[in-house]
Amino acid sequence: MILIDEISSISRHWDQTLTTLFKNDPGRASRFVAEGAGLRLDYSKHWLDCAVLSKLVDLLCTSDFLETRASMFAGDRINTTENRAVLHVGLRGKSTDNFTVDGAPVTPSVIQARNQAYGFAEDIRKGIFVGATGEAFTDVVNIGIGGSGLGPLTVAEALKPMIDGPKLHYVSNVDGAHLHDVLVTLDPRTTLILIASKTFTTQETMHNAAKAKQWISNVLGETAIAEHFAALSINVEAMRSFGIADTRMFRFWDWVGGRYSVWSTIGLSLMIAMGPEVFDRLLSGAREMDRHFQNAPADHNIPILMALIGIWYRNGFGLDTHAILPYEQRLHRFPAYLQQMEMESNGKRVDRAGEPLDYDTCPVIWGEPGTNGQHAFHQLLHQGTMVCPVDFILTANPINTDHESHSLLNANCLAQAEALAFGMSTDKVLEKMLADGWSRSDAIRLASHRTFPGNRPSSLIMMDALTPENLGALIAAYEHKVFTQGILWNINSYDQWGVELGKAQCNALRLGFESGDASKFSTSTQESLKWLLEKKY
């Protein structure tokens, strides 16, 4: 691909360090900044100068990015392998918006579904809708996997201080321990269970849903199912077959991908726990980022800059990983959320026409909150043989914590970014060790172990506080980053065929755990199954 080749060519001539970039450009720190929708992106600590940034923006403009961005917001079927629109931006629309799919308005149905969910949530919160015994619901269990679980879980953890309704619990893993460890603490009489599955066929979700159904039935009888369950899906008949009442079916659309669905009725658990007003604020922040993404110039556009920087490192320098390090404990699930969003979207090996790629696409996305990571993997970030770009995420103000702790947290964050960028040379290490009283021989012997090479790039993504609006904007910024990178890599970011083969193999192999026959599989799998069955209690 010409664009990727250009990036590779530009990178071969790059010979500046972050130290020289700041030395030669005193105004760099104030100019390599973009702001929008309540977020501030400081990208000054990256291997960029004005000339490189200009070339990257020019390359973006020579792609079909502008046309495809317009097509996405217009509801065109840009998911070509599944022949679907990609309109999660429409999920945060207001009644005055006019989102369409194939020219047909969808905003009225989005508002209707949202209002239905809001009404149900309010009735749960007010104790109007109660369980089979007449008791109000104290707990909500959301059973779903992928975006149907990780999306609302991430938001629930981030906005935990705003939960003033029933307690939230999320079950995703088919490992029975996950469901058991949640249900063992709950009372079926006061528990509402939400089944979140776009197709209502997801293996893990439906297995756990059946077990939860039995848990309710064992105590309250089968007639209680209708009052203790609700479902979020596009498959009406499957919901009815399970026993979900029509009034407790909350639908969305096939143009909503699971990892982009938290804005839809998949967020029902959040509406119940925090109330529609808070959820509206989340949507509002995402909507502001949508506008920023559509209207801000490329060199001041947060998602575009994030995307270009990522492409620059992945295809210009062959960097294989990207770390997400929130210095905000309540964002502790955010790196995992982005793992799915980015790697399921852009972990592709063929282009939009189905031809094999001869360049790299999505890096490995990983991370943990600071300061925990400082006592774990930061050693590798600072002194390892690989270079890993970092997104640091931080807030100016704490919520429900003290300012002293928050200042210490932020000081750690800025210090880590500073140390990664500028390091400490061997000469400075020697000088410091001698000043501290080390003998010259010991200082010389140990100096290399204490040397920090620096020149490790990072972004600072800042907001005034972790509010619903800012969280919505943050999530939407990464969504649009993923979109932009997908266009530049010429891949379809909105299918996920890579998860299907494992599912099919599991369904075929499951019978082997009863019969002991895995003859259709490799000898390795046959021997593993044999061992497992021999050791089974």
292 is a catalytic site residue:
no
Distance between CA atoms of 277 and 375, rounded to whole angstroms? Answer: 39
Exposed, middle or buried, 193 (CB in 10 Å: 0-12/13-18/19+)? buried
- Cis peptide leading into residue 265 (ω within 30°): no
| Token pair in block for residue 532 | 């497992």
503 is a catalytic site residue:
yes
Residues 75 and 102: beta-carbon distance below 8 Å: yes
Distance between CA atoms of 501 and 498, rounded to whole angstroms? Answer: 7
Cβ neighbours of 174 (radius 10 Å) = 16
Judged by DSSP in three states, 459 sits in strand
Distance between CA atoms of 193 and 22, rounded to whole angstroms? Answer: 55
Distance between CA atoms of 312 and 310, rounded to whole angstroms? Answer: 5
Q: What is the DSSP letter of 262?
A: T
Helix (H) or strand (E) holding 59: helix 50-62
State how far Cα 332 lies from the chain centre. 11
| Token pair in block for residue 476 | 């939407």
State how far Cα 96 lies from the chain centre. 29
Residues 18 and 421: beta-carbon distance below 8 Å: yes
Residues 140 and 162: beta-carbon distance below 8 Å: no
375, 449, 535, 536: which one is catalytic?
375
Q: Which residue in 68, 43, 65, 64 sits closest to 53, CA to CA?
A: 43
Q: Which residue in 417, 463, 450 sits closest to 22, CA to CA?
A: 417
227, 328, 342, 344: which one is catalytic?
344
How far from 187 is each of 131, 141, 176, CA to CA, in Å? Answer: 11, 11, 18
How far from 46 is each of 42, 171, 413, 425, 503, CA to CA, in Å? Answer: 9, 39, 16, 19, 40
Q: Which residue in 172, 234, 238, 235 sits closest to 205, CA to CA?
A: 172
Judged by DSSP in three states, 463 sits in strand
503, 520, 527, 530: which one is catalytic?
503
| Token pair in block for residue 362 | 């999505």
- Residues facing 170 on adjacent strands: 142
Distance between CA atoms of 196 and 137, rounded to whole angstroms? Answer: 18
The amino acid sitting at 284 is S
Q: How far apart are the first and last CA of the chain?
A: 56
CA atoms within 13 A on the CB side of 69: 23
Distance between CA atoms of 75 and 417, rounded to whole angstroms? Answer: 40
Distance between CA atoms of 11 and 5, rounded to whole angstroms? Answer: 10
Between strands 139-143 and 167-171, the pairing is: parallel
**Which residues are annotated as catalytic?**
344, 375, 503
